[in-house]
Structure 1
Amino acid sequence: MSNNRLIMIVIDALRFDTACSHMGFMQHLVEQGKVARYEVKSEVPSLSRPLYETILTGTPPFVHGVVGNGVIRLSTQESLFHLARRSGKKTAAAAYYWVSELYSHAPFRHGIDRIQLDKDAPIENGLFYFEDHYPDSHLFAEAQWLVSEKNPDFLYIHPMNVDDDGHKYTADSVQYRNRVLATDDLLAQTLPIWMDLGYDIIVTADHGMTADGNHGGNTMDDRHVPLFIASNKVKPIIQEQVVSQLQLAPLACHLLGIDPSEAMVPLLMPGLVDQ
């Protein structure tokens, strides 16, 4: 029976093919019948800030208006944080500061917004970093602190090191692939703990990364990302059908047991147990 609690992990710039070839622990969970694996096609432009907003609100850039990384303002949409709080659930985030700028305060105030503990805010407990090379290991430790000390119903985790190494060395590099291996190891250290606590888990990405060391375009390297789901509401098999990134927000609402916003598309993903 689901506890209607969810941890969503968005690994910045994780390509679908590299996730399949280099995330051995995640594939182990798939082979053991613990996790479902999907291929997701992101919205375009395949840029970070627009797709953070898409993942967390279920709306495309043309609707939410965050059409580039230079659009620095609060979201105009109802996010998963807003919806969860309205349903009486506790929220938390360990994430890049652009998430704070979308749902807490814009622009980000480095001396004030690094740690946000505000019971009246959409993100009730927020720990935000502002350097792309901020260690993912530190971020996962902070996420574990949030789980242990704040007991959120919805926790959003957003590591950046895969994206950082992709830009520095390209997706066709030892450094990028090794960073994906390192991220998989962090998941191996944390996911079993969180699953034992009764959390459903989503692991996905905002966009991919090209052999040019960039993203933003319309290629499979830019747009195709993984989606791993650990939940008794989802059949733990590999789904061959490519799904839209717009499905992630209504999926999260389904796993949390809350109503989606009116702006979200209907949840039509294959593999849901009760549909």
Structure 2
Amino acid sequence: MNNKVILVVLDGLNYQVAHDCMGYLNGLKESGQASLYKVQTELPSMSRPLYECLLTGQKPIDSGIINNSINRLSSSTSTFSLAREAGLCTAAAAYHWFSELYNRTPYDPVRDRFTSDVSMNIQHGCFYHQDQYPDEHLFLDAEYLRRKYDPDFLLVHPMNIDDAGHKFGLSSSQYRNAARRSDTYLSSLLSDWVYQGYQIMVTSDHGMNDDRSHGGTTAEEREVPLFVIGERFSHQPCEAKQTDICGLSCELLGLNDHEKSFNPDLLGFASK
């Protein structure tokens, strides 16, 4: 049984846009190869607080990472730290805030942009620090890390959907087309990931509104998708919480005594 996990966080992706615009992922759903769940994000619906939520299972109000300006290392165990402590290999192609949360802060692009250090929580990383960094390049960075280091846990985090939302808003063609492009990039990689036996989750940190922002309580800002692909998932209707993503990742990785919350109904019989 393959215990390797890929977590794709499509920054700023609203649930309805994912449902309406991402033909490849929804095609997998229609063919029975994937399931789609609607997830309500924790509050505030902002990036750095919800990166921490996805990787530690803690609500922002509990983690203390309550806005994007709080720049410090996470004080909680994370999927990265638990995997590393268990002797697994970790990697991330992601925005530099992940490096600041789980490796070292402040981010130094010369030192940290390309990371390969087994003592770090994110042992192998390709980090970027401009929101307009092309998603196509980011997905190639992720695939490079996967092929070179064969990580047990790989985080893939592109930013262009969020960037388009901040520039043009939720209802814009630019925002919807950014989602379509990410779906196309995933279609070039995901079939091979599935063939290799990875358990894959595709989700988002938060959504977007027509004010070209997020952070509040509206459905547009809080409702995000969770696509799950792989034989370890139950593919049955059930509740999916953002605070359960970390625990779900840990279960899929085969980590024991992680003490993170998760909904066992999301997992198949072999994973319980």
TM-score (norm: length of structure 2): 0.96
CA shift, 1:270, in A, is 3.3
Distance 1:269 1:227 in 2: 15
Q: Is the 8 A contact 2:18 2:179 kept in 1?
A: yes
Counting matched residue pairs gives 270
* Unaligned stretches of 5+ residues in structure 1: none
Match of 1:249 in 2: 246
Q: Does 1:129 align with 2:124?
A: no
CA shift, 1:242, in A, is 4.7
Aligned AA (1:236): H
Distance 2:56 2:230 in 1: 21
Aligned AA (2:11): D
CA shift, 1:243, in A, is 2.6
Q: Does 1:197 align with 2:192?
A: no
Aligned AA (1:244): K
Match of 2:265 in 1: 270
Q: Please give the per-residue CA displacement for 1:186-214, whole angstroms capped at 9, x wherever unaligned.
A: 11011001111111101000000001110
Q: Check 1:211–1:91 CA distance in 2 against 1; reply closer, same or farther (3 A cut).
A: same
Match of 1:233 in 2: 232
Secondary structure of the corresponding residue to residue 52 of structure 2 = helix
Aligned AA (2:177): N
Q: Please give the per-residue CA displacement for 1:206-253, whole angstroms capped at 9, x wherever unaligned.
A: 00000111000001111110001112121235x3x5532111111111
Distance 1:80 1:268 in 2: 16
Match of 1:100 in 2: 99
CA shift, 1:53, in A, is 0.3
Percent sequence identity over aligned pairs? 43
Q: Please give the per-residue CA displacement for 1:39-83, whole angstroms capped at 9, x wherever unaligned.
A: 111100000000000000001112211000000000000010001
Q: Does 1:48 align with 2:43?
A: no
Q: Is the 8 A contact 1:30 1:37 kept in 2?
A: yes
Q: Is the 8 A contact 1:208 1:225 kept in 2?
A: yes
* Unaligned stretches of 5+ residues in structure 2: none
Q: Is the 8 A contact 2:197 2:230 kept in 1?
A: no
Aligned AA (1:272): L
Distance 1:271 1:244 in 2: 11
Q: Is the 8 A contact 1:30 1:236 kept in 2?
A: no
Q: Is the 8 A contact 1:250 1:260 kept in 2?
A: no
TM-score (norm: length of structure 1): 0.95
Distance 2:252 2:22 in 1: 24
